[in-house]
Structure 1
Amino acid sequence: MTDLLETEDHPQQIVLEQDGRRVVTMDSARYVDARNTERDVVVAASYIGVLPARLMAPHKPRAVIGHDGGIGKDAAGIQGLYYLEALGIPAAAVDGESAELGNGADHYEAGVISRTNILAENCGVRPGQSVAEAARILLENEPGDVEPGTKIRREVVETSPTGRDVVITDSIIFARPEDKGRNVLVTAGHTGTSGASFLLEFQPWGFICSDGGGGKNDSGTAGLAIVEKEGLAGASVSAKSAAIGDAYSTYHDGIIVACNGPAEKRGVRVGMKAREAAHLLLQEDDAE
């Protein structure tokens, strides 16, 4: 059973209450107001771009779920996820094909999560979850550190019989001592000369980074040749195929556009999916 809250023409519905916290649905981000505080997970059926985020942020809700607006040009439909992240607010976007814009009830009842910011991710929200499930997770869990600064993501996604891991993390600067000579790192920074300096410092068994869009004089992949001289096997994905700075996107969406000789010896090829290339990079150097 739901309670209808009316303020002028800005109706809200409480769809879940638990331990003094609420999940509240509404048809527009404009309807977020003084009724909504840190106790509320707001499900607002506006796109979750920067403008709607600006409308909601001053009220400091516990968390926000909005529509992804089809992602759109320059990912404008979801840019508010990162605006809210910088302000310490967990946020997620609903797949535009799963729920109607401007219909908060449909978002809650039929919506499926397509994107999250790192604070929502830390709470346990994942793409593919129903909005109802994600809202409950945001109601029950804390995001951890919400202060401005770097949030380090790191996940092992594959382990070989030899004990080597494929590790995804957003930058090579987040490599650990145990990665040296052992793990394949799928990261999301560019593969330029400065990236190469970090790769040589941490010496992973293999790596995949972004091509940074190519850049002048192919500077976004210049590091491949630099590290090849030290025997490091690596490849770059197209920034058009995967979001730079997001290693999860690099691993799941990335398409290889460049690789060096040691990576080729392990079977990596241009046009290959990053996940497949990462698996091949686990192999020993004598692999054909």
Structure 2
Amino acid sequence: MKPVSDIVALPSITGLLTGHDGMVVVAGSHGGVLAARIAAANTIRAVILNDAGIGLDRAGIAGLTVLESVGMAAAAVDYRSARIGDGAHMLARGVISHVNALAQALGVETGMPTAEAAWRLRAAALPAQRHARPESRPLLLSRLPRRPDVWGMDSASDISSALDGAIVVTGSHGGLPGGDPKAALRCAARAVLFNDAGIGMDEAGVGRLAVLATQGIAAAVVDAMTARIGDARSTWETGIVSRVNATAKESGAAPGMSARDFSALFR
């Protein structure tokens, strides 16, 4: 299927611009509530996200229902069929795993190639109104003497240098958005946790780990079935580590430990 000007692929839903108004967007972000709210804050026609391995409480696709409630057709791509964090790969190679009722009414079905689904979503009605963009502020999770503070951020895209030296617990997937090393982490954290998004095709859900090791940052991901993606507090409270990078391993981190125990390794 030939590319068309009203379908755009992005590494992340956070990359939406006013120039994307009225378009069908295929974004490499997870299909959770936070990503959905960001989509709904923009005047796009429809969106396709990554199902991120579905995960705990079906958090990886919870955004589809949110978008249906605000009048936006939406679907999710099977994490095993295309790389999370890579909207272009999802558009070229992805297979639809879940749809909301508005997308289904336009003929979008489970098992359909993403490119065909995006083509069909061009017929979607524009949502009647734009919704407020969700605020993402650092949440203090732990402060103990002689230890780095532990801060939670639902979205890694909102992290800044204000968290340099801290332990950062995120709700974001551990994939490398757009394959860009500069997008791995926007601060010099002491250590950081992500969600593995089911790991998925080409192990894309853990793509940040190796890059962060080259920067000397200890990084790990928690199993998507143990914490809700897009929810830093869930990562902190119930997350169980599934992968660690070499820097984290040197500090004693290992798969199977809790997010809290991982954080306790660093001083």
TM-score, length basis structure 1: 0.46
Higher relative contact order (CA 8 A, sep 6+): 2
